[in-house]
Amino acid sequence: MHASLRARSSVWHADTVTTPPPGLRERKKQATREALREAALRLAVERGPDHVRVEDIAEAAGVSPRTYNNYFASREQAIVAAVTADREARIAAVVAARPAGVRLADAVTEAVVEQYTNTGEREHEALLLITTRTALRDAFLDATAGIEPPLTVVIAERLGDAGAHTARVLAASVAAAVRIALEGWLRPAGNAGAAEGFGAGGLVVPSGSLPDRLRAALAPLAPAFDAAERRTQP
């Protein structure tokens, strides 16, 4: 029983770039990938994350354990990927879709907030599970690095060829900022912080919601975006 490849409606709506028709090979690969991450998440939810071995996931997806490792480098990656999926690509797409008039910084910030706010019921359940194991938390945080490549592309489009280099740095900074926001957000479970209500002069940030945290983390980067944009369209 191989991975079910249901005929996915191949709606190749022009993605700004010409998408060459995906061959059989590529479709199978994506199907296997999806089967693996779905199986990983399902099993992790059903029996608890510690009672799922790679062997189980592979079997549930109809491939060999060795093949599993051709798709995911760690056990945690597959589980996390079921939640992360293609957030990366969606963020980039949303940024690209924003009218050229708006500030790049705003476009990016809103795109990020938008994609991380779409918390479906299933995702929420998965996130709860992720917070319970540090290995999963780490894998989840590491996954944010995945937004860097697509973000680099869309930012580079706005900045022009001269800013290709800058785009890379800005995209990486955004990824870092998002990571920090998420890190602080799902910390409550594994509290180990130093300053928790020290009475001195410092005004303590009250630990807001995810959108608030994301905006707060991205705000310091806005001047860098503005400067980069200014350099191409004076």
- Which residue, 31 or 176, has its beta carbon nearer to a copy of itself? 176
23 near DNA, judged by CB under 7 A: yes
Stretch (H or E) spanning 41: helix 24-47
- Provide the minimum distance between the beta carbon of 34 and DNA in the complex, in angstroms, as a whole number: 12
Rounded Cα gap, residues 112 and 98, in angstroms: 13
- Provide the minimum distance between the beta carbon of 173 and DNA in the complex, in angstroms, as a whole number: 27
Q: Which does 55 bind (CB under 5 to 8 A by kind): a copy of itself, DNA, none?
A: DNA
124 near DNA, judged by CB under 7 A: no
Residue 88 CB coordination number (10 Å): 20
205 near DNA, judged by CB under 7 A: no
- Provide the minimum distance between the beta carbon of 69 and DNA in the complex, in angstroms, as a whole number: 4
173 near a copy of itself, judged by CB under 8 A: yes
Checking phi first, is residue 196 left (phi over 0); if not, alpha (psi -120 to 50) or beta?
Answer: beta
DSSP, residue by residue, 122-183: HHHHHHHHHHT-HHHHHHHHHHGGGGHHHHHHHHHHHH-GGGHHHHHHHHHHHHHHHHHHHH
**Using the rule CB under 8 A, which residue among 38, 142, 157, 212 binds a copy of itself?**
142
Q: Is 13 exposed, middle or buried (0-12, 13-18, 19+ CB in 10 A)?
A: exposed
- Provide the minimum distance between the beta carbon of 72 and DNA in the complex, in angstroms, as a whole number: 7
- Which residue, 189 or 219, has its beta carbon nearer to a copy of itself? 219
Rounded Cα gap, residues 233 and 228, in angstroms: 9
Q: Which does 175 bind (CB under 5 to 8 A by kind): DNA, a copy of itself, none?
A: a copy of itself
11 near DNA, judged by CB under 7 A: no
- Which residue, 83 or 170, has its beta carbon nearer to DNA? 83
Q: At a CB cut-off of 8 Å and minimum separation 6, what does 131 contact?
A: 137, 186, 189, 190
Question: Tokens in use for 165?
Answer: 């280099």
Phi then psi dihedrals of residue 72, to 5 deg: -135, 135
**Using the rule CB under 8 A, which residue among 28, 98, 168, 187 binds a copy of itself?**
168
**Using the rule CB under 7 A, which residue among 11, 25, 192, 197 binds DNA?**
25
Buried-state track 108-145, b at ≥16 Cβ within 10 A, e below 16: bbbbbbebbeeeeeebeebbebbbebeebbebbbebbe
Question: Which residues of this chain interact with DNA, rule CB under 7 A?
Answer: 2, 4, 23-26, 28-29, 32, 52-55, 63-67, 69-70, 73-75
Judged by the rule CB under 8 A, the positions of this chain that interact with a copy of itself are 1-4, 6, 73-74, 138, 142, 145, 161-162, 164-166, 168-170, 172-173, 175-177, 179-180, 201-203, 205, 216-217, 219-224, 226-228
